[in-house]
Amino acid sequence: MRVTPAPTAQADADLTEEQQDFARAVRDFCERECGPERLKELTRGFDDLHNDEVARQMAELGWYGVAIDEEYGGSGGGLLEACLFLEETAHGEAPIGAYPVTLIVAGALERFGTVDQKRRLLGHVAEGGALAIAMSEPEAGSDVGALSTRAERSNGEWVLDGTKMWCSYAHKAREILIVCRTERSESKHEGLSMIFVPREAEGLTVIPIDTLGGKETNELHLKECRVPEDALLGDPGGGWTQLMAGLNYERVILAAAALGLAQRAFDEALGYAKERKQFGRPIGSFQATQHKLADLATKLVQARLLVRSVARMTDSDPERMLPQEASMAKLACTELAKRCALEGTQIMGGYGYATEYPMERYLRAAVVTTIFGGTSEIQKNIIAKTLGL
């Protein structure tokens, strides 16, 4: 069944002609290069969701560096352009799973990196390369400040020891940004730093974790892992402030990717409802199905407007903190992705549950979006706090 994208004119009306052309070009590329059979081949049976060759192809078109300054090999766009790219590639199932986390690290580099770090690593991203970030630990998930991985200075180097969990696409990254403790402090949020460690560094072991979504995350072990002093990103002890400064960017990136997935699941269910017949008529003619799809279509437009609004606000003032709006975008889009996939499975019945059809993959992909990058519960806590509760 061919998926027909739902109309998005409500949100596209205030995009420039250049932005609309960009989104169409990415959409056309995905339809041409990432069709169902080709996608299965590119992802080794839907198990490896990041294909280096596809990433390089997109880089050659200038898309991978869409939000990177031209000085470092990018196209000089903003967060809005990045959101358009993320939504279209997620909707088109482009196998570039490492891109969202790469973009999050690139944003931290833009804000806090030295010129040398930017030239080396942002240039790598613009060419289609991947980066990763490691925050979570066995005893530090939502409570990031509880992390215990340490880094100490020794003879002009940082020496890192500790264990990291759930490090997305570390196995694809050239370097991994390790959030670690470099100073002792009474406050758990003080004394944190961010240090780049090459994936091939001696003392770093990357262990894949099998998940519902395939090969996408890892456990890291650092044992007397040494890197130069200039691998530090930003100021020593400034890690928490740097993390907070990037939350707008991180949450909107994850929201935009989840939005593309939500739209894909919706489009699949809509197409099925128009074609599948029961009791002598398309199942989409039954009010129960119509109301489900009408509700989801409305929420998709709302979510898209929210994501693009927060992206524009961030582009207009990159230093402005938007805890409420960014958390709302992440919460709305990730929960919507899960709901679209669940409702899509229900609409498609047994076909939605079968691995022969893509809906079950969308459901597996959607489940984790409400967990990584701050759970839905954490987003609600933040929103409540901004309301004075």
pLDDT for position 257: 98
Q: Which residues contact 100 (CB under 8 A, 6 or more apart)?
A: 86, 253, 254, 257
Q: Cα(100)–Cα(86) distance, rounded to whole angstroms?
A: 8
Residue (of 298, 377, 297, 386) closest to 334 by Cα position: 377
Of all residues in the chain, what percent carry a pLDDT higher than 70? 97
Q: Find out whether 191 and 147 touch, Cβ atoms under 8 Å.
A: no
* Helices 287-316, 79-91: inter-axial angle, 10-degree rounding: 150
Annotated catalytic residue, options 88, 93, 219, 250: 250
Instruction: Fill in the amino acid letter for 253.
Output: I
Q: Which residue has the higher pLDDT, 187 or 308?
A: 308
For 333-370, what is each residue's pLDDT tens digit?
999 999 999 999 999 999 999 999 999 999 999 999 99
250 is catalytic: yes
Q: Cα(184)–Cα(187) distance, rounded to whole angstroms?
A: 9
* Average pLDDT, integer, range 235-245: 93
Query: Which pair of tokens denotes residue 290?
Result: 């119509």
Residue (of 37, 42, 35) closest to 56 by Cα position: 42
Give the SS3 label for residue 178.
Answer: strand
Q: Is the pLDDT of residue 281 over 70?
A: yes
Distances (CA, A) of 292 to 19, 98, 101, 340: 31, 32, 32, 9
Q: Name the least confident of 181-185, 202-206, 304-308.
A: 181-185
Give the SS3 label for residue 160.
Answer: strand
For 252-278, what is each residue's pLDDT tens digit?
999 999 999 999 999 999 999 999 999
- The pLDDT confidence band at residue 5, using thresholds 50, 70 and 90, is low
Cβ burial of 190 (10 Å; 0-12, 13-18, 19+) is middle
pTM for the full model?
0.94
DSSP β-bridge partners for residue 197: 176
Q: Is the pLDDT of residue 203 over 80?
A: yes
| Cα angle: 260, vertex 262, 268; to 5 degrees | 100
Distances (CA, A) of 344 to 158, 349, 353: 49, 8, 10
* Average pLDDT, integer, range 81-106: 97
Q: Which residues contact 58 (CB under 8 A, 6 or more apart)?
A: 29, 64, 89, 94, 96, 128
Q: Cα(96)–Cα(110) distance, rounded to whole angstroms?
A: 21
Q: Find out whether 51 and 42 touch, Cβ atoms under 8 Å.
A: yes
Of all residues in the chain, what percent carry a pLDDT higher than 90? 90
**In the chain, which segments carry CATH 1.20.140.10?**
243-386
* Average pLDDT, integer, range 205-209: 97
Give the SS3 label for residue 132.
Answer: strand
Q: Cα(55)–Cα(126) distance, rounded to whole angstroms?
A: 10
**CATH number of this structure's domain 9-129, picked from the four choices 1.10.260.40, 1.10.540.10, 1.10.3470.10, 3.30.365.10:** 1.10.540.10
Instruction: Fill in the amino acid letter for 250.
Output: E
Q: Cα(177)–Cα(161) distance, rounded to whole angstroms?
A: 14
Query: Which pair of tokens denotes residue 243?
Result: 């993390």
Q: How many Cβ atoms from other residues are within 10 Å of residue 9's Cβ? A: 7
Q: Is the pLDDT of residue 303 over 90?
A: yes
**In the chain, which segments carry CATH 1.10.540.10?**
9-129
Arithmetic mean of pLDDT over the chain = 94
pLDDT for position 8: 57
| Cα angle: 264, vertex 266, 271; to 5 degrees | 95
pLDDT for position 11: 64
DSSP label at 96? B
Distances (CA, A) of 70 to 65, 108, 118: 9, 17, 11
Domain 243-386: homologous superfamily in CATH = Butyryl-CoA Dehydrogenase, subunit A, domain 3 (1.20.140.10)
Architecture of the CATH domain 133-237: Beta Barrel (2.40)
